[in-house]
């Protein structure tokens, strides 16, 4: 059963938001596009992983997607954590085309696609580190220890996996062989360690301690906040020529009307600038002059008010990750011209 759902990564959405608001000829555009392409491939890999996990009987495991925990000020993120009364399994997914070669001498992974060779950190090392950190995290929270298995899955069945040593096979498989791997783990960890209440306690602790990553793309790609294109973007033609008229948004460029063109802009604010937004910051980013209009528009969303008192001490807080995911799905279905 899925305990923590899989949602589109916020960093991917932040890259998209940055490209939407970046002036056409910005020097770092290519670097952002590269990063976005890599994150999209990663996201397709994560979706492939959830596809294969959907074949498991729901009562077999409690599944947590994209769990991000912190131990001694270090955060670690797990693509999928599977929990049963007898074991935990950390699953990392990689989505590469071509051939991946696991090289143990220097602990690196080499990807060969066509005549291009690229080196990456070895995901086996990465997944073992996650296991160590999860072990530390469990003991720091005085939670019961249980055997932790870890596995790197390669999302694409047509990716060729190679290694000079046999040991890589112990840690890596194609995602389609996931179920048989899990059977193997169950055979060697058959002893039931957690009762129902301990399992429940662990589940609650994992969910309560999860924190979403805070994207910081402006800093990462050296984009100045003042360079960003502001205003409300037309969901139909993509220009920022939208104006408020008679309770709706009207595009001066293509004349299309929209009820909710402001929603993706507000989400972009949180993705680009941080987890809080005042009424004034919202007006500046969306180029709205009416204080009350912002209040009315935001009241119709799940975006909540934080801070103290009335007026100046108040701000809006970024909505839950799930809301970003829902809006992304909705805009994709409507085939509106976001860069998804």
Of the CA atoms within 13 Å of residue 182, those in its CB half-sphere come to 23
Q: Is the CB of 93 or the CB of 261 nearer to Zn ion?
A: 261
| 218 or 250: CB nearest Zn ion | 250
CB of 20 to Zn ion, least distance (A): 14
3-state secondary structure of 304: coil
In the bound state with Zn ion, the residue whose beta carbon lies nearer, of 207 and 254, is 254
At closest approach, how far in Å is the CB of 286 from Zn ion?
16
**Residues 153/49, Cβ–Cβ less than 8 Å:** yes
Alpha carbon distance 338, 270 (integer Å): 17
Q: Tell me which residue has tokens 């976001």.
A: 338
For the bound state, the minimum distance from the C-beta of residue 338 to Zn ion, rounded and expressed in Å, comes to 13
**CB closer to Zn ion, 97 vs 253:** 253
| 234 or 272: CB nearest Zn ion | 234
| DSSP line for 38-58 | HHHHHHHHHHHHHHHHTTS-T
CB 317 within 8 A of CB 306: yes
Q: Which helix (H) or strand (E) holds 295?
A: helix 291-299
Tally of CA atoms within 13 A in the half-sphere of 202 that contains its CB: 27
Binding site for Zn ion (CB under 5 A): 234, 236-237, 251, 253-254
Q: How far is the CB of 149 from Zn ion (least distance, A)?
A: 52
Name which of 204 and 253 has its Cβ closer to Zn ion: 253
Angle among Cα 327, 31, 5 to the nearest 5 degrees reads 30
Cβ 245 to Zn ion shortest distance, Å: 13
CA 192 – CA 202 distance, rounded (Å): 15
Beta carbon of residue 90, minimum distance to Zn ion (angstroms, whole number)? 46
């Amino acid at each position: 059963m899925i305990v923590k759902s899989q949602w589109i990564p916020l960093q991917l959405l932040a890259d998209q938001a940055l490209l939407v608001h970046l002036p056409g000829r910005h020097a770092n555009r290519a670097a952002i596009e590269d990063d976005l392409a890599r994150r999209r491939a990663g996201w397709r890999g994560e979706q492939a992983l959830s596809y294969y996990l959907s074949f498991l009987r729901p009562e077999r495991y409690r599944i947590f997607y994209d769990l991000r925990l912190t131990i001694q000020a270090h955060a670690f993120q797990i693509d999928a954590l599977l929990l049963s009364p007898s074991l935990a399994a950390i699953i990392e997914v990689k989505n590469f085309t071509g051939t991946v070669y696991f090289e143990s001498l220097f602990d690196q992974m080499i990807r060969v696609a066509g005549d291009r060779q690229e080196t990456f950190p070895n995901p086996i090392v990465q997944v073992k580190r996650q296991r160590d950190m999860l072990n530390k995290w469990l003991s720091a929270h005085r939670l019961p220890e249980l055997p932790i298995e870890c596995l790197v899955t390669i999302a694409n069945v047509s990716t060729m996996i190679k290694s000079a040593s046999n040991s890589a096979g112990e840690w890596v498989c194609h995602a389609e062989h996931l179920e048989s791997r899990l059977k193997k783990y169950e055979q060697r960890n058959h002893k039931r360690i957690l009762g129902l209440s301990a399992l429940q306690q662990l589940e609650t602790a994992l969910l309560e301690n999860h924190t979403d990553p805070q994207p910081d793309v402006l800093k990462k790609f050296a984009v100045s906040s003042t360079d960003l294109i502001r205003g409300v973007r037309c969901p139909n033609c993509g220009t920022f020529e939208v104006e408020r008229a008679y309770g709706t948004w009207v595009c001066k460029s293509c004349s299309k009307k929209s009820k909710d063109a402001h929603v993706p802009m507000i989400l972009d604010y949180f993705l680009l600038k941080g987890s809080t937004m005042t009424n004034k910051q919202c007006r500046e980013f969306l180029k709205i002059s009416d204080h009350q209009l912002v209040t009315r528009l935001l009241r119709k969303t799940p975006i909540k008010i934080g801070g103290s008192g009335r007026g100046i001490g108040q701000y809006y807080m970024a909505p839950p990750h799930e809301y970003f995911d829902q809006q992304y799905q909705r805009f994709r279905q409507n085939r509106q011209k976001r860069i998804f």
